[in-house]
Structure 1
Amino acid sequence: MGLEKYLVKDFISQSDSQDKETVYSGVSQRVFFGLSEAAAITKKMWIWVLLGVGLGAFIHNYIPQEMIHSAISKTGFFSVPIAVALGVPMYGSCAAIVLVAVVLFNKGVPLGTALAFMMAVVALSLPEAIMLRRAMRLQLILIFFGVIAAAIIITGYVFNLLQLSILSSSL
């Protein structure tokens, strides 16, 4: 697809230089290599990780869930894209966000909208994008977000239509 040009150059040069297979004589050499690689990655990424986790913690602790629910439930047809937009700045684990989606669904948010919100939190996390900024240029991150957001929105609308057709056929 030709998107390699949007990777940060020092990550590309490192991967090109490491194409040769390295042979280790023992476990201690492997452990030392692993620790030195982990230290090098941590030195390059620590600020981005700190910013990403800090932003996620701020949003998680200071934006109430009720505000998200009220914004989603009052928007009608545009609830799916709004749910995706609200999910992007959040940072959550897959297991935790499923419970949030179930609560939203039980409180009357359409199934597709709740699923779109859940998928956006997991797949389009802004804190993770901040961390990826060290390895990718902004253009590649925007392409990724655009493709995934479009797929999530389509999935949300499909599930909302399925839910509507099932409810109308059961009446």
Structure 2
Amino acid sequence: MLFGSAMMTTNALDNTDDTIKDIGDNYRASSPLAMGVGHVNLNNALEPGLIYDANAEDYVNLLCSLNYTMKQIQTITRTSTYNCLNSSSDLNYPSFIAFFNENVTSSDTKIVKFQRTVTNVGGDTSTYTITLTPLDGFKVTVMPDTLKFTEKNQKLNY
């Protein structure tokens, strides 16, 4: 699944190096929800710099948290060796899942924390600055906002 995270983080621009447009919103710049993970750049995906490690069990735990039945999970995984003892919607991936009650008013505050672990598969010493595209009505903070790696295959959290 390492290649999947590499493809997800390659490019948020279209093939003309312009922002991806949302056809359903009069061709305005797409939000992350409209464009998904962006335009895949296979050349960049071959050397992503960072990868988000996730294994098969992590995906099953996500399916469990989304209330998939064991029959559905077995259909997807083609095995019955998994269980839902460690269900979690927090998959170590470049994207995030947060559920909010539709009855919450704007004066209510809900804090959702996520942790991600990335592995440096780029150069021995690499620095990455985290950028994000917040959605209207949400305040998003990333800590730390810069990751400094001192060796290849080093793992850091943010």
TM-score (norm 2): 0.20
- Compare the two structures and name the one with the higher helix fraction: 1
Higher Cα Rg, which structure? 1
TM-score (norm 1): 0.19
Q: Which has the higher contact order (CA 8 A, sep 6+)?
A: 1
